């Protein structure tokens, strides 16, 4: 017995509501973030992640209130991502009750920000979010590159090299999203997950593409992820976190039941 | 009124600790403070901490809290959490070597240096829910099931010289000390404030504890 693999429901928050779109379009409303977070907490979620999907000034204030409200009632780790660009942004979210912050675009535009953040607040609260897309042609060895702005902007950075660099700079955890799979419900990009997990010594959270419970199990058993993140599979009542954990346990994965 | 001081030395998410304490003891006065007088006069003292131990130690010195911690840890129920536990040992290997408060003889070591088996997939930090095996009976374990899971996030662990100080162990993959105690002091490597029911129960047990074991 030992460390459990984690299930992390992700709440995309826009204007104080949980939303979920398919590849960033066709946004559906999925409820009040505080209610949703409490429900996942009761179902046995190991952590909860909030993603500010628009990251406007107004939305950031709203997010701060959401985190405050959730942190006073839910006693599991909370991560907040989206629009985290300065040390002051991090301080605000940690003071509101977040345990970790996710840094995405700001790490690409200024990698030293990751170092600054880790030095200031400790690696344990710095999650670097990596959005990767497969760029190799068919028949070629698989290669992935980093994309920003919700998958619209390419950077030319190799995903595996980037992951290693982020860990060197102080990332305590990586949130790895396959932009090819996000919202498709066709499962994680297991090759990508495995490649990143093997390349770094910090925990890797697999994200993007979960459509059924088996996808979560595969992310851990085949992709070697330390945690799996999913949104829509839980939001619309298809499955509970508890069901997901039971299935994982049946397939030999250690979980917190 | 029952007063609880959470020592504030600018390190980590103290709001979570305070919120969790407020939840289990709605009638108590929970105070997040760096004021020596408030800490010295509290009924219970919580010593949390997150981040790099070197920076934590420097802040304790700057705020002149070292003597305060020595005093309160000798006389009232005192709970160390995470770095607040590691700082109670003699020495830590982190940040090129940092001297602790020496309440517990022993060292704080990095996972990488000691784990021999399964290193290929040993992820550091040790992050997530792991089992805590209670090695002694103690008022802080009241009504907490043996081998309950608590939330951990750390890259260093304590290795106390005296085995009698050990209150719990955890495997990652080798066995390390996840809780220590002596007299009125109890300290844990995990985060009870982030450990759901079991964590809240431990905090409740602490606030009900008179410091006698």
Pairwise CA distance, residues A189 & A176, whole Å? 10
Does B196 sit within 8 Å of A96, measured CB to CB?
Answer: no
Q: What percent of chain A has pLDDT over 70?
A: 97
Give the model's confidence band at A236: pLDDT under 50 very low, under 70 low, under 90 confident, else very high. confident
Report yes or no for ipTM above 0.95. Answer: no
Geometric angle at alpha carbon B27, from B25 and B31, rounded to 5°: 75
Minimal Cα–Cα distance from B98 to chain A, Å? 16
The tokens of B190 are what? 């995990």
Give 3-state DSSP helix, strand, coil % of chain B, rounded to 5: 35, 35, 35
Chain B hits for A125, CB-CB cut-off 8 Å, are 13, 50-51
Evaluate if pTM is beyond 0.90.
yes
Interface touch A41/B151, C-beta < 8 Å: no
Contact A2 B122 (CB under 8 A): no
Catalytic residue among A46, A52, A89, A131: A131
Residues of A in contact with B154 (CB under 8 A): 124
Does A94 lie at the interface with B, CB-CB under 8 angstroms? Answer: yes
Residue of B nearest to A117 (CA): B51
| pLDDT tens, position by position, B42-101 | 999 999 988 889 889 999 999 999 999 999 999 999 999 999 999 999 999 998 999 999
B49 Cβ under 8 Å from any chain A Cβ: no
Q: Mind telling me how many Å the CA of B100 is from chain A's nearest CA?
A: 18
* Residue A4 sits at the chain B interface (C-beta within 8 Å): yes
A111 touches B: beta carbon within 8 Å: no
Res. A20: pLDDT tops 80: no
**Measured between beta carbons, which residues in chain A are less than 8 angstroms from residue B123?**
201-204, 226
Q: Any residues with CB less than 8 A from the CB of B12 and at least 6 apart, and which? A: A94, A122, B48, B49, B50, B51, B82, B83
| Mean pLDDT in residue range A72-84 | 94
A12 in catalytic set: yes
Torsion over CA: A102, A105, A108, A113 (sign): negative
pLDDT value of position B115? 47
CA separation for the pair A230, A220 (Å, rounded): 13
Considering only alpha carbons, which residue of chain A is nearest residue B11?
A121
Whether A23 shows a pLDDT value over 60: the answer reads: no
**With b meaning 16 or more CB within 10 Å and e meaning fewer, what string describes A139-163?**
eeeebbbbbbeebeeebebbbbebb
Decide if pLDDT at A249 tops 50.
yes
Q: Which fold has domain B3-207?
A: Rossmann fold (3.40.50)
Chain B residue with minimal CA distance to A67?
B16
Q: Which of residues 170-189 of B touch A (CB under 8 A)?
A: 171-173
Q: Which residue of B has its CA nearest to A98?
A: B13
Per-residue pLDDT reduced to its tens digit, A165-192: 999 999 999 999 999 998 889 999 999 9
A177-231 pLDDT, tens digit per residue, is 999 998 889 999 999 999 999 999 999 999 999 999 999 999 999 999 999 999 8
Inform me whether the C-beta atom of residue B193 falls under 8 Å from chain A C-beta atoms. Answer: yes
Note whether A3 contacts B: Cβ–Cβ < 8 A. yes
- Total residue length of chain A: 257
d(CA A81, CA A126): 10
Residues in chain B: 213
Q: Which residues of chain B have pLDDT under 50?
A: 113-115
A41 contacts B131? CB cut-off 8 A = no
Closest CA–CA distance from residue A71 to any residue of chain B (Å): 7
Active-site positions of B read 82, 191, 193
Phi, psi dihedral angles at B46 (to 5 degrees): -115, 130
């Amino acid at each position: 017995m030992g460390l459990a693999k984690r299930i992390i429901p992700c709440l995309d928050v826009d204007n104080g509501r949980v939303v979920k779109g398919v590849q960033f379009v066709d946004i559906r409303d999925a409820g009040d973030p505080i209610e949703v977070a409490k429900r996942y907490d009761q179902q046995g979620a190991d952590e909860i992640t909030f993603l500010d999907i628009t990251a406007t000034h107004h939305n950031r204030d709203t997010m701060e209130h959401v985190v405050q409200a959730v942190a006073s009632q839910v006693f599991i780790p909370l991560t907040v991502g989206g629009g985290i660009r300065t040390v002051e942004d991090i301080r605000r979210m940690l003071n509101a009750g977040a345990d970790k912050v996710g840094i995405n675009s700001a790490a690409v535009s200024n990698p030293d920000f990751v170092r600054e953040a880790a030095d200031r607040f400790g690696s344990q609260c710095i999650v670097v979010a990596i959005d990767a897309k497969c760029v190799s042609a068919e028949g070629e060895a698989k290669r992935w590159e980093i994309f920003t702005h919700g998958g619209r902007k390419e950077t030319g950075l190799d995903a595996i090299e980037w992951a290693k660099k982020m860990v060197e700079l102080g990332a305590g955890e990586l949130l790895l999203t396959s932009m090819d799979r996000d919202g498709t419900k066709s499962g994680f990009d297991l090759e990508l997950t495995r490649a990143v997990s093997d390349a770094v010594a910090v925990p890797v959270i697999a994200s993007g593409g979960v459509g059924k419970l088996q996808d979560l199990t595969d992310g851990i058993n085949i992709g070697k992820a330390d945690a799996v993140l999913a949104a829509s599979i839980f939001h619309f009542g298809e499955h509970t976190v508890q069901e997901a954990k039971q299935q994982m346990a049946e397939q030999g994965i250690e979980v917190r039941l | 009124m029952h007063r609880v001081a959470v020592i504030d030395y600018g390190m980590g998410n103290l709001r979570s600790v305070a919120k969790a304490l407020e939840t289990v003891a709605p009638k108590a006065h929970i105070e997040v403070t760096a004021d020596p007088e408030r800490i010295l006069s509290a009924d219970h003292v919580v010593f949390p901490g997150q981040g790099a131990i070197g920076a934590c130690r420097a802040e304790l010195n700057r705020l002149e809290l070292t003597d305060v911690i020595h005093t309160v840890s000798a006389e009232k129920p005192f709970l160390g959490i995470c770095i607040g536990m590691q700082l109670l040992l003699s020495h830590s290997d982190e940040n090129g070597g940092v001297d602790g408060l020496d309440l517990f003889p022993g060292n704080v070591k990095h996972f990488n240096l000691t784990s021999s088996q399964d290193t290929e997939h040993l992820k550091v930090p040790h992050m997530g829910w792991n089992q805590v095996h209670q090695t002694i009976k103690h008022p802080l374990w009241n009504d907490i099931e043996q081998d309950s899971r608590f939330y951990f996030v750390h890259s260093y662990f304590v290795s106390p010289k005296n085995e009698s100080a050990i209150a719990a162990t955890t495997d990652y993959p080798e066995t390390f000390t996840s809780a220590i105690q002596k007299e009125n002091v109890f300290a844990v490597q995990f985060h009870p404030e982030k450990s759901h029911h079991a964590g809240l129960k431990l905090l409740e047990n602490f606030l009900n504890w008179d410091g006698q074991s």
